[in-house]
Amino acid sequence: MPAFSSAQSRDINYHLHPYTNAVAHQKIGPRIIERGVGIYVYDEQGNKYLEAMAGLWSVAVGFGEPRLGEAAARQMRKLPYYHTFTHKSHAPSIELAEKLVGYTQGRMSRAFFTNSGSEANDTVVKLVWYYNNALGRAQKKKIIARQRGYHGVTVASASLTGLAANHRDFDLPLPQMKHTSCPHFYRQGRPGETEEDFATRMASDLEALILEEGPETVAAFIGEPVMGAGGVIIPPRTYWSKIQAVCRKYDLLIIADEVITGFGRLGTRFGSEAFGIEPDIMVLSKQITSSYQPLAAVLLSPEVTAVIADHSAALGTFGHGYTTSGHPVAAAVAIENLNIIDERGLVENAAATGAIMQAALLELAGHPLVGEVRGMGLIAGVELVADKESRRPFDPLGATGAAIYERAQENGLIVRGIQDTIAFCPPLIITPDQVADMVALFRKTLDEVHASMPG
């Protein structure tokens, strides 16, 4: 047993952690992060780590940005809390809603605020049902997501998520949520199939599922422009245009889950811009405040807004909301955070420095452990394989990824192991020199783990 600090012991005794083996945690203990500066964080022993995951895909402006702390303090002194129920509002929520809608250049017309991406997608499910009830389509309630997609962990949003760990023994998914194919060409492509053919097949799979369920029962399709927690899956270029054509054919709302891809991650303001997606609903979180405050937003098209507004009039109210919807401190931090992204050209930096990161990681494609390097902007995944030529995965799946994750931390690098895909998603402020340091630490880690393998 390791010798635990007082803080570690208290954590073990009192804290149930998300996404953690609770029994193993009692033996391993937590790595307690004490402070952060820029792209680096430091633990309680003073060890320094290059945070190559921006926390959880989310700290756009880096750690320790003083302007965000100052924005929060100013708002705390002025109006630390007020709600937005029953015709009440406040300046930060108004300004933020206007700013977000403005970014979409007329595609969206209203913003509804929640506290997390999970809550936002839970809200989206209710909005889709409310919308179709308003239109007299009581049967049109099913929502199609994708295998390996990630949309949150509430009962509804976890049902949209297409990952087994989020369903097992939670009695999920709900029956209204269906899942179609994951657009990962490296793993799902057939021999001799081109990416164009693969994209066509993915759209055909969606259409077949809609027809199997009955188009009159299917209300919407939800997807991340680029899949994050499912393994950083970059769809073929024509994938989204083909998917959208199927959705429009059968009158499905298109929901773009931009929780990871929003605010510059792919080198564009939104991931929808990068892939030509024209959503009816957009979901935003994470980089909206750089996760300095809990906040998410659901943006609605004018058409969807009008139906929901008219139905609220018919019923007398829109009976949905959270105590802290549009929280003034969170909204103030979001405004300042988005101002920093704009002023410092961080969307453009994600495109330029992201290209450098992609090229540097691609140089690792010849490494004995690496099967595929994939990414876009400042997000990437490196998939590890037991055999490069056959693409045979390791058995058991995830053990090598876990070994890389642990060794990387010992080398001062925080990445994420998604089974045997190692994910990168550094803060948008990262520089080319820091990218070089990050990739060098990762190469060192790969070499060390490979050298430790039997045979």
pLDDT of the residue at 301: 98
> Tens of pLDDT along 315-324?
999 999 999 9
Give the pairing of strands 281-284 and 253-257.
parallel
Interatomic CA distance for residues 315 and 134, integer angstroms: 10
Instruction: Please write the tens of the pLDDT for every residue from 69-105.
Output: 999 999 999 999 999 999 999 999 999 999 999 999 9
> In whole angstroms, what separates CA 308 from the centre of its chain?
27
Q: Where in the chain is the domain with CATH 3.90.1150.10?
A: 31-61+345-452
Query: Mind listing the pLDDT tens digit for each residue in 230-271?
Result: 999 999 999 999 999 999 999 999 999 999 999 999 999 999
Q: Which CATH number fits domain 31-61+345-452: 3.40.50.970, 3.30.460.10, 3.90.1150.10, 3.40.50.720?
A: 3.90.1150.10
**Is residue 2 over pLDDT 90?**
no
pLDDT of residue 100: 98
Tell me how far apart the alpha carbons of residues 417 and 440 are, in angstroms, rounded to a whole number.
18
In the chain, % of residues over pLDDT 90: 99
What is the pLDDT averaged over residues 8-15? 97
Q: What is the pLDDT of residue 268?
A: 98
Every domain range in the chain assigned CATH 3.40.640.10: 68-343
Q: Is the pLDDT assigned to residue 455 strictly greater than 80?
A: no
Q: Does domain 68-343 have CATH number 1.10.10.10?
A: no
Given a cut of 70, whether residue 174 has pLDDT beyond it is yes
pLDDT, one tens digit per residue, over 287-321 is 999 999 999 999 999 999 999 999 999 999 999 99
pLDDT score of 1: 59
Angle between helices 346-362 and 432-452 (to 10 degrees): 30
